[in-house]
Amino acid sequence: MAKQAFKTLAQKNSQTLNRTHLIALGVNTFYLLFAFIIFRKRSIYKYVLLNGPALVFEFWFERIGRPVYQDGELKRAGEDLEAKGLTEWMWDVVYWTWGNVVFVALVGDWAWWGMIVPVLYSVWSAWTTYTGMRQGMGGMMGGGDAGPEKQGATGGQSKRQAKMEKRGGQKMAYR
């Protein structure tokens, strides 16, 4: 019962990877069929260059997510392919690339400009992460504390501290 979670993850990963490979095979076959047989005016160089990241991510998912069995027993379930963060971003790039490859096959090579969207999304995501981290770490990095010009008349005190000082300071009560 203790390894049930690993078995479930291994089964889910296997299904996800198999489905991913089948979809990638279908999308790339569709493009190559259109590029070589129907239109004959598609750039294979652009196809290889701009479809490359999706293929690299797909093989990376295969490497980290495929469960490993030894003697019929589950040795390693693989990483969670539904994890947040970088894994989620890589899936977004794969899905966008598949859609763009189909779009290019249907309308032409000018549609490769659609691959600028994941790049812009990545830059925006990195920038917002960096600025959020910088604000969160403001006290440790020297960027979050206010200088003397920003502290105003209270000298960096809160309103409560300023009121208490105005009244004569905080009195200690001894019992």
Give the model's pLDDT for residue 18.
95
Locus of tokens 């019992």: 175
Closest CA to 91 of 114, 115, 118: 118
Give the model's pLDDT for residue 61.
94
Cα–Cα distance, 78 to 12 (Å, whole number): 10
Closest CA to 7 of 76, 63, 81, 84: 76
Locus of tokens 């089948």: 22
Model confidence pTM above 0.75: no
Contacts of 163 (CB under 8 A, 6+ apart): none
Give the model's pLDDT for residue 110.
85
Cα–Cα distance, 65 to 63 (Å, whole number): 6
Cα–Cα distance, 62 to 21 (Å, whole number): 9
Q: Which residue ranges make up each domain of the chain?
A: 4-125
**Ranges 129-133, 145-149, 151-155, most confident:** 129-133
What's the rounded mean pLDDT across residues 74-92?
88
Q: Which has more confidence, 170 or 154? A: 170
Residue-wise pLDDT tens digits, 5-22:
888 888 898 999 999 999
Cα–Cα distance, 48 to 40 (Å, whole number): 16
Give the model's pLDDT for residue 96.
92
Cα–Cα distance, 59 to 62 (Å, whole number): 5
What are the φ/ψ torsions at residue 131 (nearest 5 degrees)? -70, -35
Cα–Cα distance, 123 to 174 (Å, whole number): 59
